[in-house]
Amino acid sequence: MGMNIGIVGLGLIGGSLALDLRQQHTIFGVSRRPDTCKQAIARRIVNQASTDLSLMAKADVIFLCTPLGAIEATVTQLLPHLAPNAILTDVGSVKGAVVRAIAPQWQNFVGGHPMAGTAESGLDAALSGLFVGRPYVLTPTDSTPTTAVGTVAELARSLQSQIYYCSPEAHDRAVAWISHLPVMVSASLIAACLSESSPEVLNLAQSLASSGFRDTSRVGSGNPELGRMMAEFNRDEVVRSLHAYRHQLDQLITQVEQSKWNSLQQRLTQTQIARPSFLSDPQNLGKPSVKEA
Amino acid sequence: MGMNIGIVGLGLIGGSLALDLRQQHTIFGVSRRPDTCKQAIARRIVNQASTDLSLMAKADVIFLCTPLGAIEATVTQLLPHLAPNAILTDVGSVKGAVVRAIAPQWQNFVGGHPMAGTAESGLDAALSGLFVGRPYVLTPTDSTPTTAVGTVAELARSLQSQIYYCSPEAHDRAVAWISHLPVMVSASLIAACLSESSPEVLNLAQSLASSGFRDTSRVGSGNPELGRMMAEFNRDEVVRSLHAYRHQLDQLITQVEQSKWNSLQQRLTQTQIARPSFLSDPQNLGKPSVKEA
């Protein structure tokens, strides 16, 4: 049964959602930029597009796909236009701050986080099938209507995503570990190498760097604005994970300084054994405590 | 002009060297294990093999391809058998400790480090062409005879490696940054995640972990014995790099704790800009200060 789907923010995520959902639904898109609206219509990514949020009056479900920092202000402008039963959901990579800001303002709000992306951004980068097999986390609270959760879950399922349910707090703590902390760890590696004071050694290091450095430094050279937003909107959990990380690092430094080679090797054996548990195929069933049955 | 090449230690590196060098040279291999000797002969990786180091009496050039921790003891056992003009070289991933231990004992010794490998180990993993386009660092000292350096360089060139010359100290400092520090940084990330006390959050983190975590954690789950050896044999430089890293990490933590978002974004912009200088193709010319002209 086709619905009217609103998408506010026609970038990589909003555009990719539109490409998948337009198969079964009518898509209304809003962008700040008239050019983006034109392009979205010309490429038939949306059925209608506007720079004016009043277009959302027609929508049964609205996906908020702006950058994290714009979600709250967008909702304030959007609320006067919404149909009374409209369901609002967002795609932000942090959930606590977003849910705390929006849930009190709109009953039918469901926090969401489709965990997919590419190194690109903008409508040009939008892809159909971006969410296939990827996690789509929903973070309803005790007061979120189950019908609203069900409708958003149904849409996420139609993208062929794997749906996970958890609290906003559990989401933010989990993504701090596996998404936000790696960015900070990786960026600090690059920064440390740059602190080498001998040009000869720095030059040599740059020449000899290979796949190990390449992989470990990759997420530390991602979009700086996105990295800042992660830290800004998930500050408490990012700080907590950074302190836990520094504690582990300090233990390792002590082992090296004190030549505790057996202890160091034990530590590296533990991390070698543990890593595969973080690499399970997201399409693989077997995390029933958090994933949809 | 074919030489007699000795290879002590028929693992991934020793076996791969043999596979490439046997095209033009006669290969004599030594392994502690009789089975490995048999296999090396059966697969025609070597012309002769033995568990006895006296086989090296025939060799013009000997590559020491044992694990780092065994190099010094191997040389002590090997010296009585060497022809007077024999050239000795090693393939260890740390050079200072190795050069300090061996150079005083054998004039014609040239420290070397072919920077290639796979996730596998052992003779079964040996590959021809493993060193093509990869860096091969030579670390002669002021007292190393230029003829010995020239001979090892010629062999490295025949592997189609890119040859770099530097001091053992510059080598060890450079690889601490781009090879050893990433292992410690990456292992600490895995250890930090494992410190999460909530099973629900840990389970969720494991389920949601994706390419960012995968890449940043990869070298932290490598061979624990190799990680230990890096730290043990390159301790001073590894400690130095770890302290520099912790300093950068602490600055970043302070920025997050104090909500210095513009400073954090600047930091992430600097690392984004800097990373490509570490990813130059090793076959690319343009590092003339350290690389062979």
Q: C-alpha distances in angstroms, B279 versus A206, B163, B181, B183, B219? A: 7, 17, 17, 18, 17
Are residues B152 and B223 both part of a single domain?
no
User: CATH number of the domain that B183 lies in?
Assistant: 1.10.3660.10
| Domain C-terminal end among A166, A196, A214 | A166
* pLDDT per position as a tens digit, B17-73: 999 999 999 999 999 999 999 999 999 999 999 999 999 999 999 999 999 999 999
Determine the average pLDDT of the residues in B172-181. 98
Residue A258 DSSP SS3: coil
Q: Do the domain assignments include residue B286? A: no
- The verdict on B57 touching A (C-beta cutoff 8 Å) is no
Q: Please name the residue of chain A whose CA is at the shortest distance from the CA of residue B114.
A: A208
Are residues A150 and A180 both part of a single domain?
no
Are residues B145 and B254 both part of a single domain?
no
Indicate the pLDDT class of residue A40, thresholds 50, 70 and 90.
very high
Using CB atoms, pick whichever of A196, A246, A269 lies closest to residue B249. Answer: A246
Q: Do the domain assignments include residue B227? A: yes
- Give yes or no for residue B285 having a pLDDT over 90: no
Q: Please name the residue of chain A whose CA is at the shortest distance from the CA of residue B166.
A: A204
Quote the domain boundaries for residue B151: 4-166
Across the A:B interface, residue pairs with CB atoms under 8 Å apart total 349
Q: Which of A216, A237, A255, A264 best tests the B interface by mutation, with the highest count of B CBs <10 A?
A: A216
Are residues A141 and A184 both part of a single domain?
no
* pLDDT per position as a tens digit, A20-37: 999 999 999 999 999 999
Q: Which of B165, B193, B239, B261 best tests the A interface by mutation, with the highest count of A CBs <10 A?
A: B193
Are residues B154 and B230 both part of a single domain?
no
Are residues A9 and A26 both part of a single domain?
yes
Q: Which of B275, B284, B289, B291 best tests the A interface by mutation, with the highest count of A CBs <10 A?
A: B275
Q: Do the domain assignments include residue B127? A: yes
Indicate the pLDDT class of residue A292, thresholds 50, 70 and 90.
low
- Looking at the complex, report in whole angstroms how far the Cα of residue A58 sits from the nearest Cα belonging to chain B: 34
* pLDDT per position as a tens digit, B216-225: 999 999 999 9
| Domain C-terminal end among A143, A166, A189 | A166
Q: Do the domain assignments include residue A288? A: no
Please give the model's pTM, rounded to 2 decimal places: 0.92
Q: Which of B71, B65, B145 lies closest to B108, judged by CA?
A: B145
Are residues B40 and B151 both part of a single domain?
yes
Indicate the pLDDT class of residue B288, thresholds 50, 70 and 90.
very low
CA B109, B90, B242 angle in degrees (round to 5)? 115
Are residues B128 and B148 both part of a single domain?
yes
Count of structural domains within chain A: 2
pLDDT averaged over chain B? 94
| Domain C-terminal end among B131, B166, B201 | B166
User: CATH number of the domain that A90 lies in?
Assistant: 3.40.50.720
Residues of B in contact with A246 (CB under 8 A): 246, 249-250, 253
CB-based burial label for B23 (10 Å; 0-12, 13-18, 19+) = exposed
Are residues B229 and B253 both part of a single domain?
yes
Are the beta carbons of B7 and B46 closer than 8 angstroms?
Answer: yes
ipTM over 0.90: yes
pLDDT at A117: 84
